[in-house]
Amino acid sequence: MKAKVRILDIETGRFLVFISEEDAKNAKLHPEDLIKVETAKRTIYGDVVISNMVKPGEIGVTKDILRAYSFSDGELVNIVPGGTPESVRYIKKKMNGQKLKKVEIEAIIKDIVDRKLRDVEISSFVTSLEINGLDMDEIAWLTTAMAETGDMLDIDRKPIMDVHSIGGVPGNKTNILVVPIVAAAGLTIPKTSSRAITSAAGTADVVEVLAPVTHSLDEIKRIVEKIGACLVWGGALNLAPADDLTIKAERTLSIDPRGLMLASIMSKKYAMGSQYVLIDIPTGEGVKVEKIEDARSLAKDFIELGKRLGQYVETAITYGGQPIGHTIGPALEAKEALETIITGKGPGSLVEKATGLAGILLEMGGVAPAGMGKKIAREILESGKAYEKLKEIIAEQGGDPNVKPGDIPIGDKTYTFVAQTSGYITRIDNRAITTIARAAGAPEDKGSGVILHVKVGEKVKEGDPLFTIHAESETRLDQAIIQARRMEPIRIEGMVLQRIGNL
């Protein structure tokens, strides 16, 4: 059926095609059906929305579609029902616990990228991976399929280093320090990050407080070849484009299936042309990989996957038993990271982890002797060279290189929880802290989150402040307080843990 395109000032994060009731009836199209829109130059798929916002003979396309395909208003197109993609059958194979073939995985990823699979089918695919998993063959096929359906970057500065955390630990602002330290040592490190998946702030969300993170591949190539580094959002690029769509499903479900996580991370590293990759695997109570033996197994899989992709991978299993540093939430974390890189001093967990990871990368890149990397990394941090490099990154990405921690706006609606008893801090519940920070509005409300006034092992007296919730609205603050009261994220215990007698 022929139709004229009408551009709609609507943005939904999905590819929606609006069609009138009359045309829908004639074309036997129903809400949420897949529709194919064909022109001489391109074919796009979208989800049907039936609405008399458009007249018979017209289709309405949203701004999401326009960003990917430059339709012009009034352009004549041909529309046909999109039917059900073959890849839905492959998703059901995985739901049934069967191993997928390479071509079947490639079909699923291509249909995700072509928007032939809708949110419900993508969520089903992600859920099936959470339940039934992937073996190493499937993970490798998934990784290359995700990378090869997008663009690849060729940076003319070798060797190319990279670092990536599997995430899961609140306050993990570490790589905002690692990248400038490594680049200040003269190595090349084009860092891409995702936005929050299970946390209250992904690295891209935090960096965005300091500088734009949405850049084209050409722009990234220019920046990295000029200053040796970047800190950008992977989802803004056409790098492994299926990744951001599956991450959307993961974020909604707050899950990160093991096989998909391996492919999500390594597909982006592969697309960036990274040759030496360090993977941070936080382990401990309340993170994605709670047991050390599972962390070691995941480490081996990252190394094996790297070998299959021609990349040299090392892994660092890091402490994830409580949040990193004292802040959780984009602006609060940006503030803490900036304070630490300016002064060269900061929370032990943040400085130790950042210099430890950076030290490994310096040794991997051949600019530090074995065993000396962490010491050299700390010298780079304390000397101010890391800060100078971060300022270059911020400036090249379009931010204000002279931004100071005090310039960063944080939520002014606050509530502080205090100790109800004296004793020692024996536990800070990672998942509870993340839930509270997200209830307060993070990561979407950049100024929202949590400031921890205590860490595990510290002694407190009754009435001492434990943590402060920041929010940008009273409503969000109230929701966060309710969650905090329900979850009690911080446990205080005396040395007498339990008295047992007269059993």
Ligand X SMILES: O=P(O)(O)OC[C@H]1O[C@H](OP(=O)(O)O)[C@H](O)[C@@H]1O
Ligand Y SMILES: Nc1ccnc(=O)[nH]1
Residues annotated as catalytic are 256
Which one of ligand X, ligand Y, none interacts with residue 325, CB within 5 to 8 A by kind? none
Give the range of 42-50, 82-90, 188-196, 332-340 binding ligand X by CB under 6 A.
188-196
The answer to whether 188 and 160 are in contact (CB under 8 A) is yes
* CB of 203 or CB of 327, closer to ligand X: 203
* Contact between 165 and ligand X per CB under 6 A: yes
Q: Which two tokens stand for residue 86?
A: 């073959």
Contact pick of 256, 333, 363, 445 for ligand X (by CB under 6 A): 256
Which one of ligand Y, ligand X, none interacts with residue 264, CB within 5 to 8 A by kind? ligand Y
The Cα 303–Cα 311 span in angstroms is 9
* CB of 171 or CB of 399, closer to ligand X: 171
Give the range of 258-266, 322-330, 428-436, 481-489 binding ligand Y by CB under 6 A.
258-266
Contact pick of 166, 177, 281, 439 for ligand Y (by CB under 6 A): 166
Number of neighbours of residue 255 by Cβ within 10 angstroms: 18
* Contact between 190 and ligand Y per CB under 6 A: no
CA distances from 379 to 293, 376, 384 (A): 33, 5, 9
- In angstroms, what is the minimal distance from the CB of 399 to ligand Y? 22
The Cα 476–Cα 85 span in angstroms is 41
Annotated binding site for AMP: 168, 194-199, 203, 264, 288
* Contact between 237 and ligand Y per CB under 6 A: no
Q: Is the peptide bond before 159 cis (omega within 30 degrees of 0)?
A: yes
* Contact between 197 and ligand Y per CB under 6 A: yes
Residue 252 — φ and ψ, nearest 5°? Answer: -60, -40
* Contact between 265 and ligand Y per CB under 6 A: yes
- In angstroms, what is the minimal distance from the CB of 225 to ligand Y? 23
* Contact between 161 and ligand Y per CB under 6 A: no
The answer to whether 458 and 348 are in contact (CB under 8 A) is no
Q: What 3-state class would DSSP assign to 180?
A: helix
Contact pick of 60, 167, 286, 489 for ligand X (by CB under 6 A): 167
Which one of ligand Y, ligand X, none interacts with residue 261, CB within 5 to 8 A by kind? ligand Y
**What single-letter DSSP state applies at residue 324?**
S
The residues, ordered by sequence, that sit 6+ positions from 89 with a Cβ below 8 Å of its Cβ are none
The residues, ordered by sequence, that sit 6+ positions from 468 with a Cβ below 8 Å of its Cβ are 414, 415, 416, 417, 450, 451, 453
By the criterion CB under 6 A, which residues form the site for ligand Y? 166-167, 194, 197, 256, 261, 264-265
